[in-house]
């Protein structure tokens, strides 16, 4: 434990995203407790843990949707905790939602266009539109560009959110269970997409995921949360064999 903490500190020095002792309470419930870790530029970190471990809450804290009670969060060395969500987004942080939230009554193109227009991308007019079309093509939704987002199925909505998040060319992408609810074929397709985002765009990614096969395949490193606390961190194949991690998951399955 101590050794890991030291390593996280060390990585913290030059990480793109650095969390130090982040804590978030909801009334008496401690959803996130003193969590520290760092994500280096270009890295893909898997954030895993049983239901209610605090993964989504951690995303909400990083993006400024909820304010943490303690700790600090740095992006590129600069404190971002305490900033308003749009200010954090302005610095290149984008996310997707566990329960999808596309703009339901807008066309797919407008959904992604909004992503490409805002956030100091410098894109306007036709350039922004072109970028939006590119992103729709990237996730394979070109044919449906004129449809309303609410008429898509779940897999398509998740892809749309991904396109919308990518449209601004984010530095840091937070993916909250982009694979949940997809069938195996769709999962493979989405994994190929993620590999491309990582490889071609070089985007730094933190992904919350329950599909273990996916986490192990895509992540460079894994952080494990359990009841709000970080219980393990390291290379995916090592963490997957960690007795505490197994216990956390088993405990969930049995209890």
Ligand X SMILES: Nc1ncnc2c1ncn2[C@@H]1O[C@H](COP(=O)(O)OP(=O)(O)OP(=O)(O)O)[C@@H](O)[C@H]1O
Q: Which does 51 bind (CB under 5 to 8 A by kind): Mg ion, ligand X, another protein, none?
A: ligand X
In whole angstroms, the minimum distance from the beta carbon of 212 to another protein comes to 28
Q: Which does 57 bind (CB under 5 to 8 A by kind): ligand X, another protein, Mg ion, none?
A: ligand X
98 touching Mg ion, by CB under 5 A: yes
In whole angstroms, the minimum distance from the beta carbon of 80 to another protein comes to 13
Phi and psi at residue 118, to the nearest 5°? -105, 155
Yes or no: say if 47 and 206 are a contact pair by the CB < 8 Å rule.
yes
Residue 15 or 64 having the CB closest to another protein? 64
Stretch in the footprint of another protein (CB under 8 A) among 22-30, 109-117, 204-212, 238-246: 109-117
For residue 165, which of 233, 83, 255, 101 has the smallest C-alpha distance?
Answer: 101
In whole angstroms, the minimum distance from the beta carbon of 55 to Mg ion comes to 5
Among 164, 198, 221, 230, binds another protein (CB under 8 A): 164
- Please give the radius of gyration of the chain, using alpha carbons only, rounded to the nearest integer: 18
In whole angstroms, the minimum distance from the beta carbon of 87 to ligand X comes to 21
Among 1, 28, 51, 84, binds another protein (CB under 8 A): 84
Q: Which does 95 bind (CB under 5 to 8 A by kind): another protein, ligand X, Mg ion, none?
A: another protein
114 touching another protein, by CB under 8 A: yes
DSSP string, the chain: -HHHHHHHHHHHHH-SEEEEEEEEEETTEEEEEEEEEEE-TT-EEEEE-STTSSHHHHHHHHTTSS--SEEEEEETTEE-TTS-HHHHHHTTEEE--SS----TTSBHHHHHHHHHHSSS----HHHHHHHHHHHHHHTT-GGGTTSBGGGS-HHHHHHHHHHHHHTT--SEEEEESSSTT--HHHHHHHHHHHHHIIIII--EEEEE-S-HHHHHHH-SEEEEEETTEEEEEE-HHHHHT-HHHHHHHHHHHH-
Task: Looking at residues 38 to 77 of the shown chain, list those that interact with another protein (rule: CB under 8 A).
Answer: 63, 65
Among 51, 105, 153, 183, binds another protein (CB under 8 A): 105
Note the residues at the interface with ligand X (CB under 6 A).
26, 29, 31, 49, 51-57, 98
> Rounded CA gap, 125 and 242, in Å?
51
113 touching another protein, by CB under 8 A: yes
Among 56, 60, 63, 219, binds Mg ion (CB under 5 A): 56
In whole angstroms, the minimum distance from the beta carbon of 130 to another protein comes to 11
Residue numbers of the site for another protein (CB under 8 A)?
A: 63, 65, 84-86, 89-90, 94-95, 97, 101, 103-106, 110, 113-115, 117-120, 124, 146-148, 164, 168
């Amino acid at each position: 434990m101590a050794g890991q903490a030291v390593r996280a500190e060390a990585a913290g020095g030059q990480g793109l995203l650095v969390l130090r002792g982040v804590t978030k309470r909801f009334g008496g419930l401690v959803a996130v407790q003193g969590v520290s870790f760092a994500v280096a530029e270009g890295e893909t970190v898997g954030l895993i843990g049983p239901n209610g471990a605090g993964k989504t809450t951690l995303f909400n804290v990083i993006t400024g949707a909820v304010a943490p009670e303690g700790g600090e969060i740095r992006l590129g060395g600069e404190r971002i905790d305490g900033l308003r969500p749009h200010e954090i987004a302005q610095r290149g942080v984008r996310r997707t939602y566990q329960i999808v939230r596309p703009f339901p009554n807008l066309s797919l193109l407008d959904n992604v266009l909004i992503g490409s227009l805002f956030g100091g991308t410098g894109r306007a007019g036709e350039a922004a539109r072109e970028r939006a079309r590119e992103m729709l093509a990237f996730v394979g939704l070109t044919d449906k560009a004129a449809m309303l987002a609410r008429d898509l199925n779940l897999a398509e909505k998740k892809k749309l959110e991904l396109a919308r998040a990518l449209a601004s060319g984010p530095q840091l992408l937070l993916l909250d269970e982009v694979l949940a609810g997809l069938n195996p074929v769709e999962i493979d397709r989405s994994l190929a997409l993620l590999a491309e985002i990582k490889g071609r765009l070089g985007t730094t990614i933190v992904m919350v995921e329950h599909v273990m096969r996916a986490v192990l395949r895509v992540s460079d490193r894994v952080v494990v949360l359990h009841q709000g606390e970080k219980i393990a961190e390291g290379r995916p194949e090592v963490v997957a064999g960690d007795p505490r991690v197994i216990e956390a998951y088993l405990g969930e399955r049995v209890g």
